[in-house]
């Protein structure tokens, strides 16, 4: 009896179930259509926001970012940066741009399409001059700083933004410096003003390529000047690098902005209050630019050679692999690993970025009157032993505390 009663009830409910399912499908399609309509509105809105950001950057560059202009200077403005072109040396005299936190979310890929600058009155079609010249087309404004805006990134590939750089610089320390600037913006969440350029002087050599038609001068030095004038702790710093191998960490090339002004004759940030300008241009403190989360926070500058009594800094350690040597630096981090049964002492840079480290194996622990893991942290030391290499990083295995001397003792 119960079965006979159930069958008509199911038949009665079936149309309602079908209608409910149809209503759910219709509701889903309606929501999807609304989402597509919103997405269609999103693209022009995002484009408008990008253009507004670029307009703000141009306004603030004009207001705060340009060096003082000479009577013959003609400022060329592009999306994301500005420059003064040096027609005699056929490289930019200087470029100015702002690195903003947008660089964190920007994900545009390099385009590598170098073009003549339509706003520069002289011909800047320099493809043949650089091709097989032995020099890279070195960006003064990095394309990666503009990876959040296609228009701004394209503008960095104009030859007016390019200067000849040795591959050892462009692909090495210069790229590290550009990354250093982006990291301080990423972890500090504040934009910075940047002025970059070659150090120009009379008598610089020219690029010589078979099909070249320009007289492009090859700089010996490049500068990058950085200022944070938005944040609560306004600060400045500059860097100078030679056009070749620069094997030390980026912070080793830090100099006061004043020194770049003396070298180039440029007057940076002239629109700032005189007191503030003088203060930030006298600074040279790389540590003030690190923020929580930066993987390089806590690094120390390698000691400047030559060191006394035939000692060497951590960057030089790689030249002494296989020999007994004394390597000096600051113990910036230590770590004990049960797997290796050892204490690792990282000098000048933290793992995994260190140029040199020392190892104290647990079985040598009794040869120390102190705990190396805690006692040596943040101390300047000189470690003597045979330099070996593991995973391409030089190291010394320390047998006893007599093989570690403190820097203050060395200087006595």
Work out how many domains the chain is built from and give that number: 2
Q: Are residues 73 and 173 in the same domain?
A: yes
Query: pLDDT of 355-382, one tens digit each?
Result: 999 999 999 999 999 999 999 999 999 9
Q: Are residues 175 and 216 in the same domain?
A: yes
H or E element, residue 26: helix 2-60
Q: What is the CATH number of the domain that holds 347?
A: 2.40.50.140
Q: Are residues 66 and 157 in the same domain?
A: yes
Q: What is the pLDDT of residue 378?
A: 97
Q: Are residues 271 and 349 in the same domain?
A: no
Q: Which of 255, 289, 323 represents a domain boundary (last residue)?
A: 289
Q: Are residues 285 and 312 in the same domain?
A: no
Q: What is the mean predicted confidence (pLDDT) over 133-160? A: 97
Quick check: is 52 in a domain?
no
The CA-based dihedral angle spanning residues 352, 358, 364, 369, taken in that order and rounded to the nearest 10 degrees: -110
Q: Are residues 241 and 342 in the same domain?
A: no
Q: Are residues 312 and 280 in the same domain?
A: no
Q: Round to whole Å and give the CA distance between 151 and 290.
A: 30
SS3 165: strand
Q: What is the mean predicted confidence (pLDDT) over 391-408? A: 96
81 catalytic? Reply is no
State how far the alpha carbon of 261 is from the alpha carbons of 44, 73, 240, 289, 394, in Å: 43, 17, 12, 21, 38
Confidence (pTM): 0.89
Q: Round to whole Å and give the CA distance between 335 and 370.
A: 15
DSSP 115: B
121, 138 Cβ separation under 8 angstroms: no
Q: What angle do CA 159, 165, 166 make, to 5 degrees?
A: 145
Query: pLDDT of 56-68, one tens digit each?
Result: 999 999 999 999 9
Query: pLDDT of 80-90, one tens digit each?
Result: 999 999 999 99
H or E element, residue 32: helix 2-60
Quick check: is 29 in a domain?
no
Q: Are residues 255 and 398 in the same domain?
A: no
Q: Are residues 243 and 125 in the same domain?
A: yes
With a cut of 80, say whether residue 2 has pLDDT above it. Answer: no
> Which residue among the candidates 78, 97, 139, 214 is catalytic per the annotation?
139
Q: What is the mean predicted confidence (pLDDT) over 241-247? A: 98
Residues 6+ apart with CB under 8 A from 65: 82, 96, 97, 98, 193, 195, 269
Q: Could you tell me the pLDDT band of residue 4, with boundaries at 50, 70 and 90?
A: very low
Query: pLDDT of 168-188, one tens digit each?
Result: 999 999 999 999 999 999 999
Quick check: is 174 in a domain?
yes
With a cut of 90, say whether residue 236 has pLDDT above it. Answer: yes
Q: Could you tell me the pLDDT band of residue 162, with boundaries at 50, 70 and 90?
A: very high
Quick check: is 4 in a domain?
no
Q: Show the domain range for 364.
A: 308-410
156, 143 Cβ separation under 8 angstroms: yes
């Amino acid at each position: 009896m119960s079965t006979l009663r159930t069958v008509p009830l199911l038949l009665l409910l079936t149309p309602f179930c079908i209608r409910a399912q149809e209503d759910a499908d219709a509701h889903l399609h309606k929501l999807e259509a609304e989402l597509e309509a919103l997405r269609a509105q999103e693209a022009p809105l995002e484009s408008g926001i990008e253009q507004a950001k670029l307009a703000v950057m141009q306004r603030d560059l004009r207001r705060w970012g340009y060096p003082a202009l000479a009577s013959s200077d003609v400022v060329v403005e592009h999306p994301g940066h500005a420059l003064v072109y040096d027609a005699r040396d056929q490289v930019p005299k200087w470029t100015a741009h702002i690195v903003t936190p947008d660089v964190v979310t920007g994900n545009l890929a390099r385009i590598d399409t170098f073009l003549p600058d339509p706003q520069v009155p002289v011909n800047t079609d320099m493809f043949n001059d650089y091709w097989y010249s032995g020099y890279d087309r070195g960006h003064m404004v990095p394309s990666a700083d503009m990876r959040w805006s296609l228009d701004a990134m394209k503008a960095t590939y104009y030859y007016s933004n390019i200067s000849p750089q040795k591959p050892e610089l462009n692909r090495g320390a210069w790229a590290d410096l550009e990354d250093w600037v982006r990291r301080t913006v990423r972890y500090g969440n504040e934009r910075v003003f940047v002025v970059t350029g070659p150090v120009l002087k009379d008598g610089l050599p020219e690029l010589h390529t078979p099909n070249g038609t320009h007289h492009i001068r090859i700089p010996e030095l490049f500068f990058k000047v950085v200022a944070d004038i938005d944040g609560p702790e306004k600060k400045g710093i500059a860097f100078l690098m030679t056009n070749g191998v620069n094997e030390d960490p980026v912070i080793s090339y830090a100099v006061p902005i004043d020194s770049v002004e003396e070298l180039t004759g440029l007057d940076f940030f002239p629109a700032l209050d005189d007191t503030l300008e003088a203060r930030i241009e006298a600074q040279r403190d790389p540590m003030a630019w690190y923020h929580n989360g930066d993987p390089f926070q806590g690094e120390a500058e390698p000691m400047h050679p030559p060191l006394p009594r035939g000692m060497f800094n951590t960057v030089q350690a790689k030249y002494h692999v296989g020999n007994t040597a004394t390597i000096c630096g600051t113990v910036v981090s230590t770590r004990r690993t049960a797997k290796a049964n050892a204490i690792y002492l990282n000098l000048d840079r933290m793992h995994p970025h260190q140029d040199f480290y020392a190892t104290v194996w647990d079985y040598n622990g009794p040869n120390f009157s102190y705990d190396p893991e805690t006692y040596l942290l943040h101390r300047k030391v000189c470690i003597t032993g045979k330099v070996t290499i593991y995973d391409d990083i030089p190291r010394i295995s320390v047998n006893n505390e007599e093989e570690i001397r403190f820097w203050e003792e060395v200087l006595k």
